[in-house]
Every structure is written in structure tokens, then in C-alpha cells.
Amino acid sequence: MSHPLHEIAHISHAELLTPKAQESLRFFVDVLGMEVEAREGQSAFLRGWGDYQRYSLKLTESDTSGLAHLALRTWSPEALQRRVAAVEAAGLGIGWSEGDLGHGPAYRCTDPDGHVFELLYEVERYTPPEALRPALKNQPQRYVGRGAAIKRLDHVNVLAADVRPSRVFAQEQLGYRLHERIELDDGTESGAWLSASIAAHELIYTADAYGVRGRLHHLAFWVDTREECLRAADLFLDNDVPIEAAPSKHAIAQGFFLYGLEPGGNRIEVTTGGYFVFDPEHEPVVWSEAERRKGQAWGVQTVESFHTYGTPPARAPG
Amino acid sequence: MSHPLHEIAHISHAELLTPKAQESLRFFVDVLGMEVEAREGQSAFLRGWGDYQRYSLKLTESDTSGLAHLALRTWSPEALQRRVAAVEAAGLGIGWSEGDLGHGPAYRCTDPDGHVFELLYEVERYTPPEALRPALKNQPQRYVGRGAAIKRLDHVNVLAADVRPSRVFAQEQLGYRLHERIELDDGTESGAWLSASIAAHELIYTADAYGVRGRLHHLAFWVDTREECLRAADLFLDNDVPIEAAPSKHAIAQGFFLYGLEPGGNRIEVTTGGYFVFDPEHEPVVWSEAERRKGQAWGVQTVESFHTYGTPPARAPG
Amino acid sequence: MSHPLHEIAHISHAELLTPKAQESLRFFVDVLGMEVEAREGQSAFLRGWGDYQRYSLKLTESDTSGLAHLALRTWSPEALQRRVAAVEAAGLGIGWSEGDLGHGPAYRCTDPDGHVFELLYEVERYTPPEALRPALKNQPQRYVGRGAAIKRLDHVNVLAADVRPSRVFAQEQLGYRLHERIELDDGTESGAWLSASIAAHELIYTADAYGVRGRLHHLAFWVDTREECLRAADLFLDNDVPIEAAPSKHAIAQGFFLYGLEPGGNRIEVTTGGYFVFDPEHEPVVWSEAERRKGQAWGVQTVESFHTYGTPPARAPG
Amino acid sequence: MSHPLHEIAHISHAELLTPKAQESLRFFVDVLGMEVEAREGQSAFLRGWGDYQRYSLKLTESDTSGLAHLALRTWSPEALQRRVAAVEAAGLGIGWSEGDLGHGPAYRCTDPDGHVFELLYEVERYTPPEALRPALKNQPQRYVGRGAAIKRLDHVNVLAADVRPSRVFAQEQLGYRLHERIELDDGTESGAWLSASIAAHELIYTADAYGVRGRLHHLAFWVDTREECLRAADLFLDNDVPIEAAPSKHAIAQGFFLYGLEPGGNRIEVTTGGYFVFDPEHEPVVWSEAERRKGQAWGVQTVESFHTYGTPPARAPG
């Protein structure tokens, strides 16, 4: 294994754009059950009850939807320096920013597909106000139980016009491990599931049906049980959140899912489960077109939009 | 409410036909987790761990599939006499049989669609052998946990060329309560959910797509939790049981479901959940075509076969 | 079976007294997740999202705690007349009241232990305001998911100085069926689990450790899954609700439980599960002292207070 | 952070001793649901359906009970060399063994308390026979669902006469991260929860009540859901497996647990849940005696034996 390993600790936060700031905020607070930790300018900083940092979602008003940037926390200051050097060497660096609410200096770069990443190490740990102080001291925040009560941001699925170079970038420049991928009959790589930890996936690249660059497929938020995914579906239903895919189990990564669209148009997943990869030599699982045709784990065929829709919206090539 | 009430206690058992007796038996024992309580002639008598009677499924080898008969236990010997009189008066009586393994005299009749019912009162209670003696004395049998470990037969869905007269028969001659039904735009009744208890459904009539009479849509077996339905889906998958509909939640009756086909071709549901009807004056919920188009509770569209396939197999009218 | 059957449909509501009205209300609304359907005088009328009636809990400010009365809805107006005649004949009648918010005329009586019952038939069905209108038309109210999000009042456990006569009253005058009971070595009956439906228990009598009359052991509220009981425990913990008994499974009736104390001092259970009694001739299960010593289903020994504490509080006999 | 990091990948397997080999084997196969992958001499090699290696439990007949050794797989051959050098430098090395069924050369050492560890890198991956081939190619084995159907060995809790030096050894020589610990009022460290991954705990040291060295508290096996823990309790109950602690939630690490004793006397946990530690700078949570007195998460007080019993059995000091 010549790739760097154990350099990225986890996704620190995602910045999501929405053209419907108030409705989106209501969704993340009332339906997903997140807390507003801070507001600044056109942004609200939101957290799940299990986030050890101050926030994992920065929701920013914009004239469109999509992912503004994805911030990754490294395992150490040294790892940060090494990753910065690697992305600069790859010609994908943008430069340092002074930091943002809740974290220190961050180095901006893009993946080959054009998604903006931030690499950072220094973050502020969350200190709950009295009303959110938990009973158990090993828990960052009280469990309020509002809405779907998501625990934290779990993984991010971005779209790429060409999956392979971005997947290789994630492995070689960032140090992600590749756990599963899809290879079409013509040799095209149409999806790649990567992780920086034992979790089966933390960063996913799938093919953009329109060949557009830099788009988002979905942000996935974690709940601890499948029952909470089912419960979230009831909440989506009764809160008029469009359900794109009802709860079921993925074949790839075996995660349990529920997909819906937040008011700004971004696809949101409530997820749990999946398997752990303990094997240091884990050989990536490769799925063929024929195997993918069987649908999800229990045979569910995802709707067409799941394979074409992303944010910001794109048009089919004319 | 002029209908008789509290006359039927519950479905005592169903007799299912299979052209693949051995494979079907393996399915009910190894995949659904039932116990063989007895064998006699071409039949095996099977029970779930929660059945208070000796069995709830009689599996009989045949040259075809489908439902041979459905046995209903009345609340009392007097209720049995009253129901027999009612079905005889309706011209649907067949006559008394001497009983079968595990139960006493049974009166045979049909519903207007031609499904054979047995009405009976006397049944034998289950006495477990040493190896199946439960730790808790209020439980009829040890929880073995094999396969999907279904607890008992829960409900039966039969198909009818014409739903309405059979539904009215179930209410007027048998004393079932109607909880929900579907009424198409042209006034046709295409489905009716009835119950003899607070459970949302115990007996279901849905329209036979081919206009054939006397066919079965599915037998449904109960598990106590949705997690067991999800687990059953994993077992179906790894035991090559065709999954017709992956676990999700019904809109009508709100039951949680998993549908698969047993080797003999009969559709089997693993189910839990649903709501209770405590209101003595409960007004049946009527669903329109437009409402049904929304799919199941979370928007899942059931596959075409779900609306057409039944046993024994039928051909589309030429 | 000479007892009347199918006369009581279900517990319509309970009136609970609290010396801490505001704190208790906050508990039922924010922690249990009930809705305030109405307020009148010193009372708030509360409902779970699955209640078909307007409310199932009347919470009334008082100088003490305990159960003010328990209202039972009969299966029909005729059943109401028959039950009134029966309790009058037993010398336990009090008389008719004109009704209360949400229901018509009610006949008041007591059980031999002095608990006040109301018998009634006419009730108002719930009509949700726009904000609580459900997506599924067979559900009375939107699933809001606040707090433990209890669905409805499930069962009531009262204490009795002498269990047996009250249990016999419930069977003979009211028509409850006896499913399980405890008989001590000296022949004393120390607990009785009764039901008017297939649910394993709806009305429970257990012995008052202090020999006081008319007290309450607990009100139990239903959730559909065990996961929701576990989740409720997290909510109790983080809302400073004293947990008297952490989630586990009862031996008797096999219900899954969580017990806590609401601010007014009344014991509240969040419950699910249990078994159904489909057998019309079900022989009550009798537990001995030795059997009860084994604790709950999985061996949990309930704390001492569980066997002595009730509301209003009593003192140990001097 | 001066400790080595990312050197140990995971616990490869545990070798458990039993004086009742046949009964113990029956427990692991029929009640826990493991598969016998191989037998050799006095040992059976057992696997959960999610183990990527051939086995995670070596069960060996002996005249006593307890842990024979614990094998750890490193992240790389180089990490293995570094760890061997570190334990040798600490004077705790024993020497290389040629390997065992399913793995290559292993270096034996002890922790300061005398437990035998094996450090190894080369392992054989599991190849299922036809009957155990899974439907999903990213899963090592078919989900058979027998018994509690545990997925894999999750964590090991050993007892130590003196916790601190062994905990420091695990950090400094092996590279484990310390996530939580208990510090008594007199400054004694009575428990330490360590992990080599984001899982809250993988290796636990707790104080041996008798001051004996080298004993085992328990082996913990993973299931994916809390419902499977509850189900396992029913299986323990109906299989006469003594339940030491019924399912509930730990305060420390927040794992969901069920504890029982296998026939050989070793304590076995069925576990799931817990939180993930994503923070590279995670500050260990320190619990005081007063905090521990509150019991487990929901207030459950573990029985006395939980704090004193270990294997092999020890006597109270004279």
C-alpha cells in the first residue's frame, strides 16, 4: 500500500448552499433535529447532538443549491502540512484561508472534478449551554430528540464528470482508502466508496449523468438505529418532505438509507448501519453493471432521479 | 351496527397447497422458522412459536398451489351454531366434517367468490415437548430463533373476482368488521380490509386481476418487531427466496411488510405493526384511485406482479 | 364462561391528579410528546398522536397526586345500560354525570377498592387542526415525533388493599377477561392482569403494600417499538425524569417497559410489546411466589419502590 | 500525542479456555450462532458471519477457564516490527511462534499484568464454502441467522491487579488510544477503555477484585442492532444460559449490553452501539467514584458478581 494512510481523521463539516434559506433552516432544525450553534452573515452553523465540534453543517443562503465546500480535519498538524504539500504538488491547491467560525487556518484546494475541499487541523470543541448539557459526560450534548434527531454528519456523496481521477486524488493526495467501486462494462468507473476510518464509506464519488463538474449527490446524516431511519420516514411524510427513496438497505456498503429533498433542493440521506473494514489489506470490492442491475440489497430499484439528479440542478446535455 | 359482532375469535389455520412439498416445507421450517407439529398423509402441520393451538398452517402436497381452506375459530359453541345457520341461510353452506388433526367438528362453506372456509370451535391447545418447553410459562413454546422465527399466522389476503359480495359476506354472515377499503373511480370495490379483533386487518379481499375465483394473494406471518422484518429480508436474500417487495410500510392498515415467494409459488408476507381499532363505531376508511397512486406509506410503488399474481397461477384473459 | 364479554371496548381516558400542574404538563407535552387538545378549569386534556378520541388523559391540578377516575367506553349504548345495571346491582353505583369535554353522559361507580370508574359510550372523535393533519388518512393525527411521542394511553395499573374482589368485579360487573394473576403461598391474590381485548393487559390490579385503598400504581402509554422505549429512556435521562426501572421485559404479559416518575409524583410507564390472547377459553396463567422471585423476563429484579410506591403517597402502617 | 498511533488494526482473535469443551462449543455454535471453521487438537476455531478472517475465536479445552491469549493484527509488517521492538524494549517480550491455523508468524508477549498477547500481521482471509456463500459480494459469509447470530468478536475486557501499568503499556507499547477511564477517590485507576480505531472501546482493563493477575472479565461479540441484543436475551433465557446482566446501556462507552455465562464459566457479552471517537485529540473522559455510583446509563446497578467475577475463578483473599 503506497498510499498515505491515517492522514485525514474525518469530514469536519460541509457547507451547503440553498436558495431557500429559511425553509432549509426549518428542515435541518425541525425535521432533522439539528441545533443552530451560530449564525454569521448569510450562514447558519448547525450541529447534531453527537458532534464533538461546534458544527458539522454550514448552511449558506445563495442563489443556487449544492456544496460550497467540504472541510476535512487531519489527524495532526503534521498530517495537514503533508496533505497541503501533496495537493499543491498535484497542482490542485488554491491557498490558505484564515479560518472560519469554529476552526483555524484552512487550506483550500479542489479535487480534479472541481469540488472545493478545505484541509484543517485546529477546531473548537463544543461546549453546550446549560439547556443542552447532557446527563452522560462522555456525550457532547443532550439528546433532545426533536425530529429525526440526527447524531452527526456521516458521509458526503459528490458527483464527478469523471469519477476515476477524483477517486485517485482522494487516495493519493488525501489518503482515503478505497473500499468499493463500480466498473461499467466499457471499463468506466461510475462510482467509488472511500473512507478514512473503519466505516465502510465517508466520501463517495458517483458519475454525474450530465457530465457536469462539481456537483453534489447528497449529504448523509447519521442515526444510531434503523428504527430511527424508519421513524425519519414518518417525519418526512408528515412534514411534506419529498421522499425520493423510502428506507431500505444499500447493496454497496450495506448502509440503511432514507433519501429526501430539503427545501433548497439538495438531496439529504438519513443513514445508519453498514459494515466496518478492519482489514488493512482490504481489496476493493468491484461491482459490474450486471450486479448493479439487481438493485439494492433487497432488490429495490432506485428511481431514475437517484441516478441523474444532483445540485445545483443541471440540464441534460442538449 | 346491525352486523353480528364478536362471533369469530381468529383465524385458526390455513391449508396451503404446494406442488413442491419438500422445498416448501424446508422454507417454512428453515427460513420462516416454524416447527413441524405433526405429519399426516400428504400434509405437514406447522406452528409458530407463539401459536397457542397445535398449528396454524397445514401444508399439503398438491399438483398446484393456492389456499385449500381457511379455518376460523368462533368465540363459543353458540357462536359457531349461529354462524353456521347464517351461512346456510345465505346458501353458501357445504356441510359438517368430523374434524381434523388438532380440532373438532368443522362446518365447511364458501364465500361468494368460492374460497372454502371452515368454522369450528373445539381446538387442541399446544403442549410442547421437553425440547421446546419455554422458560416463561405464559408463552406456549420456547423461542428457538431459527430463521425468521415467525410467531404465528397473522392474516390472510384472498383474491376475489368481485370483492364487494365477499366482503359483505364476511361482515354479515361471519361478523367481521370492515376497517378500510378501496373504491375505484367507477365505484368498483377493489379491496377490503376486515378484522374480528382490534388488529387493523385479519382478512383481506382484493380484486383478482384476471377475474378468476377462489385464489390466494398471500398468507402473512407475524413477527413482533420491524427489525425482525428487516432481518427476514436478509434471510430471504441469502436463502434464494425471491423477494417480491422489500420491507416497507403499507399505507392501508400501516403494517410493515416483506413479501416473498415460497418454493411452491405462494406469496408469503412477514409482517408486524399496523394500528389498533378501538372505536366500536369505527367508520371504514375509503381510499380512492388517486390516493392509491401515491404508493405505500413512504411512496414505494409495489411491482406490477403484486397486483396481478396469485395462486394458483392464472392466465390473463385472452 | 358465564362472565359478560365484549361489553367494554377500551379505556377511554384517565384523570390524573397532580400537585405540580405546570411541571406535570411540561412532562406530558415535552417529554412524552402529547398534545394539549383543550384546557378547562384546573384541567388540561391531552392526547397521543394515535388517539381516535379527542384525548386519553385529563390532567388536573390538585393538592395531591393519584387517579381521579378511569373512564371506560362500552361497545354499544346497550352494553352501557347493561354495565350500569350490573354495577348498581352490586351496590357500587354512584350515579350519572352529564358528561365532560369530549364525551356524553357517564355513569360513575367504584370498584370494591374505591377507585372511581366512569362508564360511557358517546365520545367525540378527534378532528385535527391543519397543523396536525396527517399524511395518511387512516391515522388520526400527524406524527410530530416530539419527545417520546407516545401513541396513546395503553393500560392502567391500580393498587388495591385486596386484589381479589376488585378483580372479580372487573370480570363480573364490567366483563374484563382475566389473563394472568399472582397467587402468594398463603393463597392471597397479589396481582391480576385483565383485558377487554386481545391485548394481554389493559387493566391491572396489584396489592397495595400499605393496605391503602384507591391508589394508583401507574399509567402506561404506548409506543409501537421497543426502540422507542429505549429512546424514551434517553429522553428521561436528559430531561431529569427519575427513572425507576430502566427498559426491560416483563415476565407477566411480556410487555417491554420503562418506568419513571412525572413531576407530580405519579408513576408513568412507556410500554410496547406483550402478547395477544386469541384463545376464547384462555386459562389464566397463575404465578407463584417462587416464580415471581426470578424477577422480570430476563432476570431483572425491580427495585423495592416498585412494590410499595403508589399515588397519592401513603405511609407504611405504623 | 507522543504515543504511537495506527499500529494495531484490530483484535485478530482470542483464545478462550473451557473445562467443558462440548457444552461451550454448543453455546458458541447454537446460541451465539458462530460457525466452526476448523478443529485442531483440543481446539475449535469459530467465526461470526461478518469476520473477514477465518476465525475470531479459538476455543480450547482445558482444565480451567479464562483467556489463553489475545492476538492483535497490526496495520502493516513494519508496524509489527515496531511493536515487537517496543514490547521487547519494555522487557515484556516472549518470542516468535511459527503461527497457527489461519495466520503467520506471531510474536508473543505479555502485558504488565501477565495476559498473553500475540502480535501478527499475516492472516488468511475467509473463503466460504458453497453453503455459506453470501448473496452480497461485500459480505464475507452468508447470514445464517442461527441463534444470536453474532457478527464478529468486538472487544475484550481483561482484569488487572493494577490497571494503570497495563493501560499505559497498551498505549505506549501497542499504540492504543485511551478514551475513558475510572479514577477512584484515592487516585487508583480502576478501569480503562482503549481503542485502536474510532470505536469507543476495543480493549478494556478493569480492576481485579481479588488482585489476581491475568484474568478475563469478558469477551464481547457484536450484533448490528439493539433489537438483536434483546433477541439474544430471549435466546439465553430459553437456552438456560445464565443471564448476569439483562440488556441495558452502559454509561461508559454507551454500548448496549447483555451479559451471560457460557458453560465453561467465561462471561460473554452480546453488544452493539456505543459512540465513535473521531477527534484526534480526544481527551479521555474520567469518571469518579461518585459518578459511577449512578449505575449504568439508565440507572441500572450491575450485580455484585459483575465487579468481582472473572475467569479463571479466583478466591477472595483470605
Tell me yes or no: is domain A8-139+148-308 CATH 3.40.50.2000.
no
Residue at A95: amino acid letter: G
What pLDDT, on a 0 to 100 scale, did the predictor assign at position C86?
98
Tell me the C-alpha to C-alpha distance, in Å, between residue C231 and each of A227, B231, C49, C238, D92: 10, 21, 17, 11, 45
Confirm or reject contact between B318 and chain A (CB < 8 A): no
Tell me the C-alpha to C-alpha distance, in Å, between residue D86 and each of B141, B264, D7, D193: 56, 63, 12, 21
* The B152-160 sheet, strands edge to edge: B243-249, B255-261, B267-273, B216-222, B152-160, B203-207, B189-195, B177-183, B285-287
What pLDDT, on a 0 to 100 scale, did the predictor assign at position C315?
72
Interface test with A, best of B230, B257, B258 (most A CBs within 10 A): B230
Reference D143, options C268, B237, A177, C291; nearest CA is B237
What pLDDT, on a 0 to 100 scale, did the predictor assign at position C316?
56
What pLDDT, on a 0 to 100 scale, did the predictor assign at position C229?
98
Residue in the structure block whose three cell numbers are 390472547: C277
Q: What secondary structure, in 3-state letters, does chain A show? A: CCCCCCCEEEEEEEEEEECCHHHHHHHHHHHCCCEEEEEECCEEEEECCCCCECCCEEEEECCCCEEEEEEEEECCHHHHHHHHHHHHHCCCEEEEECCECCECCEEEEECCCCCEEEEECCECECCCCHHHCCCCCCCCCCCCCCCCCCCEEEEEEEEECCHHHHHHHHHHHHCCEEEEEEECCCCCEEEEEEECCCECCCEEEEECCCCCCCCEEEEEEECCCHHHHHHHHHHHHHCCCCEEEEEEECCCCCEEEEEEECCCCCEEEEEEECCECCCCCCCCEEECHHHHCCCCCCCCCCCHHHHHCCECCCCCCC
Q: Given a cut of 60, is residue B144 above it in pLDDT?
A: yes
Cross-chain residue pair C279–B1, CB shorter than 8 Å: no
Portion of chain A with pLDDT greater than 90, in percent: 97
Confirm or reject contact between B251 and chain A (CB < 8 A): no
Predicted TM-score (pTM) of the model is: 0.97
Domain B8-141+149-308 carries which CATH code? 3.10.180.10
What pLDDT, on a 0 to 100 scale, did the predictor assign at position C1?
42
Task: Tell me which chains share at least 3 CB pairs under 8 Å with chain D.
Answer: A, B, C
Q: DSSP label at D303? A: P
What pLDDT, on a 0 to 100 scale, did the predictor assign at position D1?
43
What pLDDT, on a 0 to 100 scale, did the predictor assign at position C3?
85
- How many residue pairs bridge chain A and chain C with CB atoms within 8 Å of each other? 43
Read off the pLDDT of each residue in C81-105 and give the average, rounded to a whole number: 97
Confidence band for D315, pLDDT divided at 50, 70 and 90: confident
What pLDDT, on a 0 to 100 scale, did the predictor assign at position D3?
84
Q: Given D143, D234, D238, which is nearest B235 (Cβ)?
A: D143
Confirm or reject contact between C282 and chain B (CB < 8 A): yes
Q: Given B74, B76, B224, which is nearest C273 (Cβ)?
A: B224
Instruction: Give the integer Cα–Cα distance in Å for B120 and A161.
Output: 67
Q: Given a cut of 80, is residue C113 above it in pLDDT?
A: yes
Chain D residues closer than 8 Å to B27 by CB:
none
Cross-chain residue pair D287–A136, CB shorter than 8 Å: no
Q: Are A158 and A114 in contact (CB under 8 A)?
A: no
* Domain ranges within chain D, ordered by starting residue: 8-308
Cross-chain residue pair A137–D287, CB shorter than 8 Å: yes
Bridge-based pairing of strands B35-40 and B216-222 is unpaired
Confirm or reject contact between A248 and chain B (CB < 8 A): yes
Portion of chain B with pLDDT greater than 70, in percent: 98
Cross-chain residue pair D298–C237, CB shorter than 8 Å: yes
Residues 137-156 of A with CB under 8 A from D: 137-139
pLDDT digit string (tens) for D259-284? 999 999 999 999 999 999 999 999 99
Q: Given a cut of 50, is residue D53 above it in pLDDT?
A: yes
Domain C8-128+146-308 carries which CATH code? 3.10.180.10
Q: Given a cut of 90, is residue D2 above it in pLDDT?
A: no
What pLDDT, on a 0 to 100 scale, did the predictor assign at position B3?
85
pLDDT digit string (tens) for B14-67? 999 999 999 999 999 999 999 999 999 999 999 999 999 999 999 999 999 999
- Mean pLDDT, consecutive 10-residue stretches, chain A (318 aa), reads 86 98 98 98 98 98 98 98 98 95 98 98 98 98 98 98 98 98 98 96 98 98 98 98 98 98 98 97 97 96 95 76
What pLDDT, on a 0 to 100 scale, did the predictor assign at position A99?
86
Task: Tell me which chains share at least 3 CB pairs under 8 Å with chain B.
Answer: A, C, D
> What is the distance between the terminal CA atoms of chain C, rounded to a whole angstrom?
43
What pLDDT, on a 0 to 100 scale, did the predictor assign at position B178?
98
What pLDDT, on a 0 to 100 scale, did the predictor assign at position B99?
86
What pLDDT, on a 0 to 100 scale, did the predictor assign at position D99?
86
Confirm or reject contact between C243 and chain D (CB < 8 A): yes
Residue in the structure block whose three cell numbers are 492504543: D176
Give D8-308's CATH code, choosing from 3.10.180.10, 3.20.20.370, 3.30.70.100, 3.30.930.10: 3.10.180.10
Instruction: Give the integer Cα–Cα distance in Å for B28 and B46.
Output: 8
Cross-chain residue pair B73–C254, CB shorter than 8 Å: no
Could you tell me the three cell numbers for D229?
A: 441484543
User: Nearest CA of chain B to the CA of D170: how many Å?
Assistant: 37
Q: Are C166 and C214 in contact (CB under 8 A)?
A: no
User: Nearest CA of chain D to the CA of B156: how many Å?
Assistant: 26
Phi, psi of C86 (to 5 degrees): -70, -45
Read off the pLDDT of each residue in B108-124 and give the average, rounded to a whole number: 98
Confirm or reject contact between A302 and chain D (CB < 8 A): no
Interface test with D, best of A6, A276, A283, A285 (most D CBs within 10 A): A276
Confidence band for D156, pLDDT divided at 50, 70 and 90: very high
Confirm or reject contact between B64 and chain D (CB < 8 A): no
Confirm or reject contact between A287 and chain D (CB < 8 A): yes
Cross-chain residue pair C147–A145, CB shorter than 8 Å: yes
Phi, psi of D298 (to 5 degrees): -100, 20
Q: Given B227, B230, B299, which is nearest A246 (Cβ)?
A: B299
Q: How many CA atoms lie within 13 A of D169 on its CB side?
A: 26
